[in-house]
């Protein structure tokens, strides 16, 4: 599908309506797209990123429809294969084309795709490349989400090509966003799953691009932003240190004890005016759990004891939270055991990356009794006090 953004600037990538998992890890409830863009300058033609190799036929078909017989440059913003995987095919089809990228991305592309050294032109941060009547400026943005990532500003048209940055896994035949809340949620999910561990780098990149006069933000996943402030302000919020009066409870229960505790705690927190987001790990989409971690003040992990340790699903949630490094401020653990448990120690060791204050856990023997419910009330009180201390209640 070809969509024109401006005269001589086209979206020529592929929409993957059917894809339901990315990296064999991330659920894609709304599919995704691999956006590639063609810019016809007066003197030079450039392709910005390519597509996932499974969709190479669509990219070729679009280039054919535009009667493109020559490409001078292919800008590679990032080495991951959903954007770079079709580069070898493009270079075969357009042998004069050079890959324009930064040294780190070049190294990755040589390793992953075996592209020969002489195919590359490397650019420095803020270096420009003229297409005749149009000028590309390359801006390094490392760690969104690999060390190689950069973006490109098309000066004359005030378009910022951002690759993964500001992207969303959202398949749509619309070039531009129409349903802002829906795309906002997809972009937040994308940020949570991929970008959140690099929050501090992203903050710096937001500052770096702030002097640019941007009319259109053109990511390599999801729709194009005609109102750049929508996604820029969202990223400012997500990467800020601000948290919400929310408790996320990823949990699993085997015989009902932990479930009973979770149900009680949900109620206790709700009574105290705190928003609760429980996720039964046997049923939940982990992407939703990741989204909820973007701005919740507190996480409480619920688990029974299995073979001395946590249930593997609870351990997975703890591991996931640890690698995603949300800005969560407080954490606790609740759960049960039959005759002995190292569940608490194993979960707290697993979340060592989180800069949280650990609130008194509630680990009980058997089915919860009155004294256990009282401990859960104390935990709910403690969470409320902590949320008040940081000014979110």
Distance of alpha carbon 191 from alpha carbon 203, whole angstroms: 13
- The answer to whether 273 and 221 have CB atoms below 8 angstroms apart is no
Tokens 């770096």 map to which residue? 208
Pick between residue 33 and residue 350 the one whose CB is nearest to ligand FEO: 33
Distance of alpha carbon 166 from alpha carbon 159, whole angstroms: 13
Q: Dihedral of CA 271/277/281/282: which sign?
A: positive
Would you count residue 82 as binding ligand FEO (CB under 6 A)? yes
Beta carbon of residue 34, minimum distance to ligand FEO (angstroms, whole number): 8
Pick between residue 194 and residue 363 the one whose CB is nearest to ligand FEO: 194
User: Cα 378 vs. chain centroid, distance in angstroms?
Assistant: 35
- The answer to whether 126 and 137 have CB atoms below 8 angstroms apart is yes
Beta carbon of residue 313, minimum distance to ligand FEO (angstroms, whole number): 27
- The answer to whether 36 and 50 have CB atoms below 8 angstroms apart is yes
Contact window for ligand FEO (CB under 6 A) among 75-83, 227-235, 301-309, 348-356: 75-83
Pick between residue 19 and residue 260 the one whose CB is nearest to ligand FEO: 19
- The answer to whether 280 and 228 have CB atoms below 8 angstroms apart is no
Beta carbon of residue 49, minimum distance to ligand FEO (angstroms, whole number): 9
Would you count residue 83 as binding ligand FEO (CB under 6 A)? yes
Would you count residue 221 as binding ligand FEO (CB under 6 A)? yes
Which of 164, 246, 295, 372 binds ligand FEO (CB under 6 A)? It is 164
Pick between residue 80 and residue 295 the one whose CB is nearest to ligand FEO: 80
Q: Using DSSP, state whether 91 is helix, strand or coil.
A: helix
> How many amino acids of this chain bind ligand FEO (CB under 6 A)?
7
Which residue has the closest beta carbon to ligand FEO?
80
Beta carbon of residue 160, minimum distance to ligand FEO (angstroms, whole number): 16
- The answer to whether 37 and 9 have CB atoms below 8 angstroms apart is yes
Half-sphere exposure for 384 (CA within 13 Å, toward CB) = 15
Would you count residue 78 as binding ligand FEO (CB under 6 A)? yes
Contact window for ligand FEO (CB under 6 A) among 80-88, 119-127, 131-139, 180-188: 80-88
Distance of alpha carbon 46 from alpha carbon 35, whole angstroms: 14
Question: Which residues bind to ligand FEO, rule: CB under 6 A?
Answer: 78, 80, 82-83, 145, 164, 221
């Amino acid at each position: 599908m070809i969509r024109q953004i401006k005269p001589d600037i086209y979206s020529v990538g592929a929409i993957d309506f059917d894809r339901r998992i990315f990296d064999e890890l991330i659920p894609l409830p709304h599919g995704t797209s691999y956006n590639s863009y063609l810019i016809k300058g007066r003197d030079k033609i450039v392709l910005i990123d390519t597509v996932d190799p499974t969709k190479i036929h669509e990219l070729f078909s679009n280039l054919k429809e535009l009667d493109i017989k020559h490409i001078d440059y292919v800008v590679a913003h990032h080495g991951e294969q959903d954007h770079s995987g079709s580069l070898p095919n493009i270079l075969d089809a357009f042998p004069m084309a050079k890959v324009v990228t930064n040294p780190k991305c070049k190294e990755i592309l040589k390793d992953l795709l075996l592209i020969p050294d002489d195919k590359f032109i490397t650019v420095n941060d803020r270096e420009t490349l003229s297409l005749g009547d149009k000028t590309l400026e390359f801006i390094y943005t490392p760690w969104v989400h690999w060390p190689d990532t950069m973006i490109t500003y098309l000066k004359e048209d005030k378009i910022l090509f951002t690759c993964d940055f500001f992207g969303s896994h959202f398949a749509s035949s619309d070039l531009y966003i129409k349903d802002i809340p829906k795309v906002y949620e997809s972009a937040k999910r994308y940020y949570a799953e991929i970008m959140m561990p690099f929050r501090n780098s992203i903050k710096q990149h937001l500052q770096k691009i702030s002097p640019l006069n941007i009319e259109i933000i053109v990511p390599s996943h999801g729709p194009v932003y005609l109102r750049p402030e929508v996604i820029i302000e969202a990223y400012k919020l997500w990467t800020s240190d601000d948290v919400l009066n929310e408790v996320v409870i990823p949990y699993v229960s085997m015989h009902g004890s932990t479930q009973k505790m979770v149900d009680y705690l949900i109620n206790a927190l709700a009574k105290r005016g705190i928003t609760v987001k429980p996720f039964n790990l046997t049923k939940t989409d982990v992407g939703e759990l990741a989204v909820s971690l973007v701005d919740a003040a507190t996480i409480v992990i619920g688990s029974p004891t299995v073979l001395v340790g946590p249930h593997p699903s609870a351990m997975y949630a703890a591991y996931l939270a640890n690698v995603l490094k949300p800005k969560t401020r407080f954490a606790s653990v609740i759960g049960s055991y039959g005759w002995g448990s190292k569940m608490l120690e194993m979960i707290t060791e697993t979340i060592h990356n989180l800069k949280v204050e650990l609130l008194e856990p509630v680990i009980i023997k058997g089915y919860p009794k009155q004294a256990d419910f009282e401990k859960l009330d104390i935990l709910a009180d403690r969470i409320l006090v902590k949320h008040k201390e940081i000014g979110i209640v």
